[in-house]
Structure 1
Amino acid sequence: MPTVKSRLNWTAEPWSGQEPLECAMVVPETPDTATFTFRAPSGAWFDYQPGQFVTLDLPVDPKKGAGGNVQRTYTISSSPSRPLSISVTVKAQPGSIGTRWMLDHLKPGMRIKAFGPAGIFSFHRHPARKHLFISAGSGITPMMSMTTWAWDSGEMPDIVFVHAARRPSDLIFRERLEQFANRVPGLQLRFTVEEPDPFRAWPGYHGRLSQIMLGLMAPDYLEREVFCCGPEPFMQAVREMLVSLGYDMEHYHQESFGAPVSTEAEAPVIEDIAPEEGAGAEISFTGPGAGSGVSLRCAETDTVLAVARRAGLNIPSGCTFGLCGTCRTRKVSGEVHMVHNGGISDEDIEEGWILACCSNPLGKVVVEV
């Protein structure tokens, strides 16, 4: 039987992208998600940082479905601590072209051209004693690469791994991560889902990730280096949560679903709108009640509920931290910054409803009472 040494070409150089990759294995993960493992035909090994990405040149025409090539970038889900192969885990989204082609047509033995690896999203670039990984959907892939590296390093990790998915059956790498966590207490898994699978008990967290949930999952989050990956709305919600909780955003790092970057200079500037300390605002109240026509100047850091109370107006409230939904009221005009804990739906927000207890006015705002 071949030994590990006989399988290695000790004279081989690291893979440089000059030769195509050969698909060695395809492993289904969840519905519409699979892991593709590649090897270099020459025996070259793979050298990269956990969390980086690779670009694949896929033979699919974006208009006709065949006859051309498209380039798609995927985060590497394997770890450089296992250098004989390299893997990407892909999930088809509505309208997917390259990923759909991979799931339908890419088989073991086929060869495709690839570029990279590249990217700046890696905990090797930001050494820390404690880490907090936060991901959603296929944003789990760089976290899996970094976690595998931590496992293979032989040192006890200190990682809180938070992952959000639609259902438990959509949790990519769940069994592998649980196998890791069963062996090292320093890896703590925290899964949350929007809804359970039918006829399957779900003992984990349920609902969108919130400030309260994050505090329960990682009570010492202020001490951890945070790495986040997922759809932009998800990452924006995470950023807003951390800012409102007083986290030092110098220790926050993210990778985008759509546009991974190769250098620090290419990294987009994050310009989230948030209440500015010392900035002025004004809230006007309208409606059939006695408070209609009342306007008060305030600070952007004030909440709508606090300003209403200062004006002697009654907006019913309960928890005062965006969970119960009692203070739900309609915003007529203007913009607010709202970081809630699940007390309002996305549909209500689109229709103009806010939670007064956790909404800060940005400039002039009109609210019904």
Structure 2
Amino acid sequence: MDMQAPSAALLSLSCIAVRDETPTVKTFRLRAGGGPVGFVPGQALVLKVPLPGGPVWRSFTISGGAGGDLELTIKAQAPGGATRWLHGNLREGRGIQARPPRGAFTLGLRGNDRLAFVSGGSGATPMMAMLRHLAQTDPEADLAWFHAARDPAEVLFARELAEMQGRMPNLAVAVSVSQAAPGWFGYRGRINRARLAAAIPDLGRREVFCCGPQGFMQEVRLIHAAEGGARAQFHTESFGGADLAPPPMATAAADAPGFGLTVNGRAIGIRPDETLLQASLRQGVVIPCGCGAGMCGTCMVRIVSGRVDSRPNGGLTPEEAAEGYVLACSTRAASDVEIKLA
């Protein structure tokens, strides 16, 4: 009998409240029918979004939670996409399904008493979850917050940050906007070394948690290194812009023979240099995917038979791995392989 493991079961969530954060960002408060859902600040939910053309899976960082509820703070993106559907349709009383919270971008990585949270746009959401946690558990934490937004109206959590500064004496907050408006007295312009160093003079001596667009995170990483920061003291998270490039693994010879790949009973082939996800999508077999880098867990599949080289990047729990699950975006075949979609 083929039974799906409990760890892969979907959560049934109900939207109990929606609030506007900015003109383009809403926070959705969700409650699970089966009771409180535990999460670690910085983790994400993978929602099953029922678009008209068929469901899609999208990862959203949990921005907070209280009393067992979960909050997702989501920016509306391109028309016709998942975020637009959520903004237009996920209202109080409506249900939605999700995979359990997951992700390794958490304060469990922390190894330094001096922290810096650096974010761009909606990348502030995991930082806010961590900040709310620190406000409750370590209000004396030495923390620098730097956020980059398009304009003053799009600055996330501005009022709450001001309130937190009154409760956290060692919290320093700086915001930069690329399009300043009259009356704006904060930093102006896109992020660069001079601006970030002015906002956080001891950046190189702080452990940095960074989230935002890929280019933004790469720039902050270079600035942190230039300021003397250690590579191990810089952590990033991103669930967007997937290019289906997996974490590094052994490279097969170009002329190496391929293997057979069977997905939900359909037999296809897989090249030696392809991941399970790449081979499936190339041949018209759709496996839901999110980050494409082994972090979000959206593309989880179960190995029925065969050997694989799997390199999850935080998107798979040890329990799921023990039950035979892998992430299709970061797994290659080492023999003929049969998989089932989770």
Matching of residues 119-134 of structure 1 within 5 Å: 119-134=103-118
Call closer, same or farther: CA 1:39–1:17 in 2, change over 3 Å.
farther
Offset at residue 216 of structure 1 (A): 1.6
Aligned length: 244
Q: 1:203 aligns with which of 162, 182, 185?
A: 185
Match of 2:23 among 17, 22, 31: 31
How do 1:174-323 residues align onto structure 2 when only pairs under 5 Å count?
174-197=158-181, 200-258=182-240, 259=291, 261-262=295-296, 265-267=311-313
Separation in 1 of the partners of 2:80 and 2:206? Answer: 35
The residue that corresponds to 2:14 in the other structure is: 22
Q: Match for 2:28: what amino acid?
A: F
| Distance (Å, rounded) in 1 between the aligned partners of 2:205 and 2:228 | 11
Counterpart contact for 1:230–1:257, Cα < 8 Å: no
Q: 2: CA distance between counterparts of 1:267 and 1:86?
A: 24
Unaligned runs of 5+ in 2: 1-6, 241-290, 298-309, 315-342
Alignment partner of 1:161 out of 129, 145, 168: 145
Superposed displacement of residue 222, structure 1: 2.0
Higher Cα Rg: structure 1 or 2?
1
In structure 2, the residue matched to 1:74 is 60
Indicate the residue corresponding to 1:100 in structure 2.
Answer: 84
Q: Aligned partner of 1:137: which letter? A: G
Question: What residue identity is the alignment partner of 1:71?
Answer: W
CA RMSD of aligned residues (A): 2.2
Distance 1:88 1:19 in 2: 15
- 2:332 corresponding residue in structure 1: none
| Alignment partner, residue 51 of structure 1 | 42
Most deviating of 211-220 and 109-118: 211-220
Describe the shift of the 1:172–1:155 C-alpha distance in structure 2 as closer, same or farther (beyond 3 A). closer
CA contact (8 A) 2:44 2:60 kept: yes
8 Å CA contact 1:136–1:230 kept in 2: the answer is yes
Q: CA deviation at 1:93?
A: 2.0
1:318-357 alignment, distance < 5 Å: none
Q: Distance in 1 between matches of 2:106 and 2:61?
A: 11
Shift of 1:174: 0.9
Corresponding residue of 1:324 = none
SS, match of residue 73 in structure 1: strand
d(CA) in 1 for partners of 2:296, 2:111: 19
Quick one: distance in 2 between partners of 1:16 and 1:45? Answer: 17
Q: Deviations over 1:148-175 (max 9, x none)?
A: 0001115312110000001011001111
Corresponding residue SS for 1:20: strand
CA distance in 1, matches of 2:194, 2:200: 10
SS in structure 2 opposite 1:114?
strand
2:123 corresponds in structure 1 to 139
CA-CA distance at 1:46 after TM superposition: 2.1
**Which has the higher relative contact order, 1 or 2, with Cα contacts under 8 A spaced 6 or more apart?**
2
Q: Following the alignment from structure 1 to structure 2, what is the Cα–Cα distance between the partners of residues 154 and 252?
A: 21
SS at match of 1:138: helix
Matched, 1:113 2:106: no
Amino acid at match of 2:217: M
Q: Which residue of 1 aligns with 2:284?
A: none
SS of 1:77's equivalent in the other structure is: strand
Structure 1: unaligned runs, 5 residues or longer:
1-14, 61-65, 269-369
Structure 1's 41 and 173: CA in aligned 2 closer, same or farther, altered over 3 A?
same
Given candidates 171, 176, 180, the residue that maps to 2:155 is 171
**Distance in 2 between residues matched to 1:175 and 1:155, nearest whole Å:** 18
CA distance 1:96–1:208, change in 2 (3 Å): farther
Secondary structure of 1:71's counterpart equals: strand
- Deviation of 1:19 after TM superposition, in Å, equals 4.1
Identity across the alignment (%): 35
The 8 Å contact of residues 135 and 164 in structure 2, kept in 1 or not, is answered as: yes
Give the TM-score of the pair, scaled to structure 1: 0.62
Q: Is the 8 A contact 1:23 1:37 kept in 2?
A: yes
